[in-house]
Amino acid sequence: MSEQGLREIVDLPDVGIVMADGVRLSARVWMPVDAGEDPVPAVLEHLPYRKRDGTCGRDEVSHPWMAARGYAMVRVDMRGNGDSYGHMEDEYTAQELADAVEVINWLAAQDWCNGHVGMQGISWGGFNCLQTAYLQPEPLKAVISICSTVDRFADDIHYKGGCLLNENLAWSSTMWAYSSRPPDPALRADWREIWMERLKNEPFLIAGWLKHQRRDAFWQHGSVCEDYSRIKAKVLAIGGWADGYKNAVPALIENIEGAKGITGPWVHLYPHIAVPEPRIGFLQEAKRWWDKWLKGIETGVESDPAFRGYVMEGYRPSRFNAPRKGVWIADAATGGKMRVLPLGPDGQLGVAGETRALVASPAHCGLAGGEYYAIGRGPELSGDQREDDIYSAVWTGAALARSVDIVGRPRVRLRLSADAPQGQICVRLNHVHPDGASTRVSFAVLNLTHRNGAANPGPMPVGEVQALELELDHIAYRVPEGHRLAVAVSSAYWPLIWPAPEAARLVVHGGALELPERALAQADEWRFEPAEGAAGWQTEELRAPRNEKHVSTDHETGLVTLTINDDFGKRRDRAHGLVSGGVSRETWVIHPEDPLSARGITHWTEETEREGLALRTETFAEMRCDRDMFYLTGRLEAYENDVLVSARDVSEHVPRDMM
């Protein structure tokens, strides 16, 4: 034992775990050196993101810290990724989850493990730890799921409110690039053979995802909301208000006995390294969770409030991740008491009376919406909502006589008619500052053909008034005294969602905002320890990261183009020398008067290098449409020392299904 009772640890970079079908998975394991004599619980993180050079930034901060406190922290590369063998077919497949179960059973059987296993992860890892718990492997006693979902159709990067998220193309392009990289040649003598097989079998994921435009069995698989009662492991769920996944934490604590939830102001990052600040001592919270459920130490976690959330004090609209002032609340539930505010005449919110408002937004409305999948790089958050309000119907309330804490899931009920059988709407809840600046608090989108459910959509009856209800994303936000609330309704939200086949003209005949108000928090009701961690990833920077975002209008063609370029930089691992780098490029093009002009274009570069060896993949993808069809193309190129060694083209067209 070292200073303060911490245990000396060992870092094992390439532990082989052989699956029943003979495929060897590669694990990196941090554990106490004396675990063979004094066994410890194991905590698994099972990902496709490459432990050798992909998730090192967070792994090196977190896993050594926890290992020194008596745990074996196990980071496994999923089959077909990183230093593991095999092929990846899709996300969250039965094979992926079967591998996770097999790994858990293998861990529990090791002489350095006490037989108890936990599973944690963020995003993909947050999803699959819940999905693995759903399968009930006996050694799995607890999970920590961060930035995840319970419903793969309603709340992932594919569809939202029955609308096609453009993140569907963006994320497919990301994985097209991520998974096409070779293993580290220093670990695999047969690295080139593995790489060539990987390139030959790499799935063009968007083509499969786009063939399921309804909530069918494809999406039901892996959606734990199908039967929450199957999850017997103890669940700690964590989320961020600036993340795309805001709704899983409340769903889990409302539906799984004993589940606990924490939501802070963060984007899609672990909360001890996240922005916007403040951060929290996530590792200390995780240790309390694991100590109780994997070691049987009484830490009091079962008596923690069901929900601990950060109420953000109303802030100025900004695309950057500036720190958020606010207070921590501690509640037994996740929502406040609903207050009904009518959408009244003349754009008045909270005033009863008849209203009739035309909504006919141009196709490029939504450019102030920011990125769905914010991960802490550059100007990615929503901006001043006045930019989109000019294309929307807006109802604005009177100046507030008192500050209001909005905690929970706002709802907007509408009576709506349309002049076309297909269309879409976006509803935004905004905080209007005294000078007119407008911050987006929460929002929802709806494909009007999905108004009665996503399993069996139907056309909108033309000219008939329909009653609709939209649930906005969960939020905890304080609107100060003297400021105002507003509801904005648009018929487009580009580039967050792909447009409907035609620009429907909508009429709002009435409606109301249902606002979840909580008693004003006067001070912090819970205090977390400050963020801690190990020394972190030691690298030599070879190219600095850089982020760019531009919107331009071609005044000859009328096309509006959004360009997002993210250079993730290039670095050398000081411990083992592997060089890694990457650049992503996205372009989104549309004509304000023509939804069929929509086009998404991506290009990724991934670099893997060692002395005398430079390996690179270039991936390209494009999506466009006409009234009846989506058209997809992709190209995957691989280079060894700047010589093209592999190239593959794909092309698919997928019929539109009320989308």
Q: Residue 2 — pLDDT band, cuts 50, 70, 90?
A: very low
314-330 average pLDDT score:
97
Using CA atoms, how far apart are residues 141 and 117, in angstroms rounded to an integer?
6
DSSP code per residue over 141-194: EEEEEES--S-TTTSSSSEETTEEBTHHHHHHHHHHHHTTSPPPTTT-TTHHHH
Q: Is domain 3-154+215-304 annotated with CATH 3.40.50.1820? A: yes
Give 250-290 pLDDT, tens digit per residue. Answer: 999 999 999 999 999 999 999 999 999 999 999 999 999 99
Q: Residue 97 — pLDDT band, cuts 50, 70, 90?
A: very high
Q: What's the one-letter identity of residue 524?
A: D
41-46 average pLDDT score:
98
pLDDT confidence of residue 29: 98
Question: What token pair was written down for 326?
Answer: 């606010």
314-336 average pLDDT score:
94
Looking at the chain, the whole-number percentage of residues with pLDDT higher than 70 is 100
* 412 closest CA partner among 494, 355, 467: 467
Using CA atoms, how far apart are residues 601 and 169, in angstroms rounded to an integer?
9
132-142 average pLDDT score:
98
Superfamily of domain 337-518: Galactose-binding domain-like (2.60.120.260)
Q: Residue 1 — pLDDT band, cuts 50, 70, 90?
A: very low
For the chain, domain boundaries:
3-154+215-304, 337-518
**Residues 498, 629 contacting (CB under 8 angstroms):** no
* 594 closest CA partner among 642, 572, 627, 566: 627
Using CA atoms, how far apart are residues 498 and 624, in angstroms rounded to an integer?
10
Question: Left (φ > 0), alpha (ψ -120 to 50) or beta: where does 126 sit?
Answer: alpha
State pTM to two decimals: 0.97
With a cut of 90, say whether residue 162 has pLDDT above it.
Answer: yes
Give 504-563 pLDDT, tens digit per residue. Answer: 999 999 999 999 999 999 999 999 999 999 999 999 999 999 999 999 999 999 999 999
pLDDT confidence of residue 295: 98
* 304 closest CA partner among 232, 235, 243, 251: 235
Looking at the chain, the whole-number percentage of residues with pLDDT higher than 90 is 98
Give 343-388 pLDDT, tens digit per residue. Answer: 999 999 999 999 999 999 999 999 999 999 889 888 999 999 999 9
Give 108-119 pLDDT, tens digit per residue. Answer: 999 999 999 999
Q: What's the one-letter identity of residue 420?
A: A
pLDDT confidence of residue 336: 85
With a cut of 50, say whether residue 494 has pLDDT above it.
Answer: yes
Cα-flanking dihedrals φ and ψ of residue 219, to 5°? -85, -25
Question: What token pair was written down for 504?
Answer: 């429907």
- Averaged pLDDT score across all residues of the chain: 97
The enclosing H or E element of 56 equals helix 56-67
DSSP code per residue over 471-534: EPPPEEEEEPTT-EEEEEEES--TTTBPPPSS---EEEEEEEEEEEEEPPP-S-S--PPPP---
pLDDT confidence of residue 5: 84
Could you list the beta-strand ranges (E) of 522-642: 539-543, 546-553, 560-573, 579-591, 594-610, 613-625, 629-640
Q: Give, in order, the Cα–Cα distances in Å from 294 to each of 110, 251, 252, 532.
A: 15, 24, 21, 21
Give 399-445 pLDDT, tens digit per residue. Answer: 999 999 999 999 999 999 999 999 999 999 999 999 999 999 999 99
Give 219-255 pLDDT, tens digit per residue. Answer: 999 999 999 999 999 999 999 999 999 999 999 999 9
**Residues 124, 424 contacting (CB under 8 angstroms):** no
Q: Residue 126 — pLDDT band, cuts 50, 70, 90?
A: very high
3-state secondary structure of 227: coil
Strands 357-359 and 506-518: antiparallel
Task: Give the dihedral of Cα atoms 418, 419, 421, 423; nearest 10 deg.
Answer: -60
